[in-house]
Chains A and B, each alone.
Chain A
Amino acid sequence: MPFMPVKFNLQKRVKLAQGLWMLYWLSVIVGILIFSLGIFFKIELRKRSEMMDNNESHLVPNLLILVGVLACGVNAFGGKVCHDSLDPIKFAKWKPMLKPYLLLCCGFNVLLLLTALLCFLMQFAMYLTLAEGLKNGIKFYKDTDTPGRCFMKRTLDMTQIEFRCCGNNNFRDWFEVQWISNRYLDMSNDEVKDRVLSNVEGKYLMDSVPFSCCNPGSPRPCLQHHLTNNSAHYDYDHRTEELNIWTRGCREALFSYYSSMMNSIGALVIATIFLESVDMAGLKYLSTALEMMSDPENPECESEGWLLEKGVKETFTELLAKLKMLGKTNQVEEGGEAATAAT
């Protein structure tokens, strides 16, 4: 009993072939879209790789690029087959390749599923990488004269301005590091000496933040220094002041940006899986409908198309039986070799 049989006459077959051909071209466009999204994601990761300690994993964008290219190829081939399917001569040369092609499509769908899963799961790794990278970024902010780190200040300032965030968790992270280079500190000054001596590591710590933390939406000019000292500024209460500097942390901001990107890409990949499955089903129907023509000479005859030749259970048991046979053949071979070796 075939699985989901459908009767086809010539008109229905032609319609199926045409509809399937359009669907395959849509899938090619979707493949191009996935490819370009992979490239976009890779570029975005590279742009901010300093914030991630140059340690970010490029697995997901590389996989997306590969999957995009494969999707284009697979679907273009499928479209070609559909286009030729209405001409019996042209279709005859594609006929033997169809079974392995459908198996390849199945494998490709599994790869797509894996990609979608990775899109959702790699966000955890991204979170940890960001936390580490930003912590180091804040630590190296002042090293504008150290080769390899001289652009960290600029990168961090532009990130804080662009993503409207301050510090790692919040602005108080800046209170815990020295973010002014020693070159610009007057070591003979009493105040500087006091601050440097006031902590174990001899760092110049202060309750100030860089200018890039400033919120342009604040009604008053930005207060950067002496943030916890209410008396240092007129009419200022640091506990109730909300608009002065950005209150969000940069790890939060960057993570939500990347995670929304990865979620959208993952959703698109899942939609592609559905599209590919529909393509496969359509192609299976088309190929069985063309094979099962009751009168091969008459193109206008009726035929039947199905998804599986036998029911789902039977097909499954057959597959298992085949696998077991493969396994047994190996064992028999090994036994045979052992026997010949013994003799």
Chain B
Amino acid sequence: MALMLVKFDLKKRVKLAQTVWFMYWFAVMAGVLVFSMGLFFKIELRKRSELMDNNESHFLPNLLIFMGLVTCGINAFGGKVCYDSLDPTKFAKWKPMLKTFLVFCVGFNALLIVTALLCFLMRIPLQFTLAEGLRNGMRYYKDTDTPGRCYMKRTLDLMQMEFRCCGNDNYRDWFEIQWVSNRYLDFSAKEVKDRIGSNVDGQYLMDGVPFSCCNPSSPRPCIQYQMTNNTAHYSYDHYTEELNVWKRGCRDALLSYYGGMMNTIGALVVLVTMLEVAVTIGLQYVNSSLSTLANPEDPESESEGWILEKTVKETFTDIMAKMKAMGKGSKVEEGGEAAVATES
């Protein structure tokens, strides 16, 4: 008893082939979309790889690019087969390949599902990479004369302005590190010597933040220095002041940006998977309806189409039997070789 049997006459077959051809071209465009999303994601990761400690995993965008290309190829082939399916002579040359192609499609769909899952799961390693990278970024902010780190300040400033964030968790992270280079500190000044002497590491710490933390929407000019000292500024209370600097931490901001991107891409891949499953089923119907023509010479004869030749259980037991047979075949060969070896 075949799974989901459908009767076909010539008109229905033609309509089916045309619809599936159309859907295959949609699927090719979907493949191009997946490819470009992978490329876009890769570029975005590279743009900010300094903030991720040059340690970010490019596995997911590479996988998306690969899947996009394979999708395009498979669907273009499938479209060609559908286009030729209405001409018996042309279809005859594709027929032997179809079974393998359909099995390959099923495997490919499974891989697409895995890709979609990865899109949602890779957020977690990204969180750790960002935390580490941003912490180091802030530490190297002042090293504008060290080769390899001289652009960290600019990158971090531009990022804080673009994502409207300050520091790792919040702006107080800047209070815990020295972000002013020693080249610009007057070591003969008493104030500088006091600050450096006040902590174990000999760092120049202050309750100030870089200018890139400033919020342009604040009604008053930005207060960057002596932020916890209410008397240093007129009519200022740092407990209630909210609009002065960005309150959000950059790790949160970057994570939500990349997380949103990955969620969107994951949702898109899920949609593409559903489309792929639909076209695979369509092609199976085309294949089975053309294989079971009641009268092979007469194109107008009726035929039947199905998804599986037998029911799910029977197909499954068939596959298990085949695999066992293959396993036994290998054992027999080994046994035969051993016997031959002992004999000789």
Pair from one complex:
yes
Question: A residues bordering B, Cβ < 8 Å?
Answer: 144-145, 150, 153-154, 157-158, 161, 179-181, 183-186, 189, 210-212, 214, 216-217, 219-222, 224, 233-235
Compute the total of residue contacts between A and B using a CB distance below 8 Å.
73
Surface stretch bound by A, among B43-51, B152-160, B285-293: B152-160
Q: Does B180 contact A (CB under 8 A)?
A: yes
| Shortest Cβ-Cβ A-B pairs, 8 listed | A216-B157, A157-B216, A219-B144, A144-B219, A234-B186, A186-B234, A211-B211, A222-B211
Closest chain B residue to A221, Cβ basis: B180
Given contacts A185-B234, A211-B214, A234-B189, 20 further A-B contacts (CB under 8 A): A144-B219, A144-B220, A153-B216, A153-B218, A153-B219, A179-B221, A181-B219, A184-B235, A189-B234, A211-B221, A214-B212, A216-B154, A216-B157, A216-B161, A219-B153, A219-B181, A220-B144, A220-B181, A222-B210, A234-B184
Provide the main secondary structure of the chain B interface.
loop
The answer to whether the Cβ of B170 comes within 8 Å of any Cβ in the partner chain is no
The reply to whether B234 and A184 form a contact with Cβ atoms under 8 Å apart is: yes
CB distance from B216 to the nearest CB of A (A): 4
Measured CA separation A237–B189 after assembly (Å): 19
Output the residue of B150, B161, B183, B211 with the most chain A CB within 10 A: B211
CB distance B145 to A219 under 8 Å?
yes
What are the residues of chain A within 8 A of B235 when measuring CB–CB? Answer: 183-184, 186
Complex Cα–Cα for A331 and B65 (A):
78
A179 CB contacts on chain B under 8 angstroms: 221
Cross-interface CB contact of B184 among A144, A189, A220, cutoff 8 Å: A220
B222 within 8 A of partner (CB): yes
Determine how close the nearest CB of chain A comes to the CB of B193; give it in whole angstroms: 13
B158 touches A216 (CB 8 A): yes
Chain B: which residue is nearest A210 at the CB level? B221
A180 touches B183 (CB 8 A): no
Which chain A residues border B184 with CB–CB below 8 Å? 220-221, 233-235
B143's closest neighbor in chain A, by CB? Answer: A219
Give A189 to B232 CA distance when docked, in angstroms: 12
Please measure, in the bound complex, the distance between the C-alpha atom of A222 and the C-alpha atom of B213, giving whole angstroms: 12
Inter-chain CA distance A157–B157, complex, in Å, is: 15
Q: In residues 160-196 of chain B, which contact A (Cβ within 8 Å)?
A: 161, 179-181, 183-186, 189
The answer to whether the Cβ of B217 comes within 8 Å of any Cβ in the partner chain is: yes
- How many whole Å from A202's CB to the nearest CB in chain B? 18
**Distance in angstroms between the alpha carbons of A198 and B211 in the assembled complex:** 29
9 contacts between A and B (CB under 8 A): A153-B219, A189-B234, A211-B211, A212-B216, A216-B153, A220-B180, A220-B181, A234-B186, A234-B189
Contact between chains at A161 and B216 (CB < 8 Å): yes
In the complex, chain A residues whose CB is within 8 Å of the CB of B161 = 161, 216
- CB-based contact A158/B150 at 8 Å: no
CB under 8 Å from chain A, chain B span 113-168: 144-145, 150, 153-154, 157-158, 161
Contacts of A224 in B (CB 8 A): 211
A244–B270 Cα distance when bound, in Å, is 49
List residues of chain B with CB within 8 A of the CB of A185. 234
Shortest CB-to-CB span from B17 to chain A, Å, is 30
Closest to A236 in B: B184
Chain A contacts for B144, CB-based, 8 A: 219-220
- Measured between C-beta atoms, what is the minimum distance from B47 to chain A in Å? 15
> Which of chain B's residues have a CB closer than 8 A to the CB of A222?
210-211
Does B224 belong to the interface (CB within 8 Å)?
yes
CB pair B183 A220 closer than 8 Å: yes
Contact of B216 among A150, A154, A216 (CB under 8 A): A154
- Central interface residue in B210, B219, B224, B235, by most chain A CB within 10 Å: B219
For B224, what are the chain A residues with a Cβ–Cβ distance below 8 Å? 211
Question: CA separation between A158 and B161, bound complex, in Å?
Answer: 10
In the complex, how many angstroms separate the beta carbon of A195 from the nearest chain B beta carbon? 14
A221 near B221 (CB under 8 angstroms)? no
Residues of chain A within 8 A (CB-CB) of B157 are 216
Type the 1/0 row for B206-250, where 1 means its CB is closer than 8 Å to any CB of A: 000011101011111110100000000111000000000000000
A185-B233 Cα distance, complex, nearest whole Å: 9
Give Cα A161 to B215, complex, Å. 12
Chain A's nearest CB lies how many Å from the CB of B140? Answer: 13
The residues of A that contact B150 with a CB separation of less than 8 Å are 219
Please indicate the chain B residues that have their CB under 8 angstroms from the CB of A184 in the complex: 220-221, 233-235
Bound-state CA distance A189–B221 (Å) is 18
**Chain A residues in 8 Å Cβ range of B218:** 153
Interface pair A216/B221, CB less than 8 Å apart: no
Nearest CB in chain B to that of A213: its residue: B211
Residues of B within 8 A of A158 (CB): 216
Are B212 and A216 in contact (CB-based, < 8 A)? yes
Contact B222 A210 (CB under 8 A): yes
Known: A216-B161, A220-B183, A235-B183. A181 touches B220 (CB 8 A): yes
A43 to B158, CA, bound (A): 26
Chain B residues whose C-beta falls within 8 Å of the C-beta of A161 in the assembled complex: 161, 216
Interface centre among A189, A210, A216 (most CB of B within 10 A): A216
Q: With the chains together, A145 CA to B235 CA distance in Å?
A: 16
Smallest CB separation, B149 vs chain A (Å)? 11
In the complex, what distance in Å separates the CA atom of A233 from the CA atom of B161?
A: 25
Q: Which residue of B lies closest to A214 (CB)?
A: B211
Q: Which residue of B lies closest to A222 (CB)?
A: B211
Query: How far does the alpha carbon of A235 sit from the alpha carbon of B188 in the complex, in Å?
Result: 12
In Å, the complex CA distance between A330 and B157 comes to: 75
Q: Which residue of B lies closest to A208 (CB)?
A: B221
- Min distance, Cβ A151 to any Cβ of chain B, angstroms: 8
Contacts of A234 in B (CB 8 A): 184-186, 189
Closest partner residue, chain A, to B224 (CB atom): A211
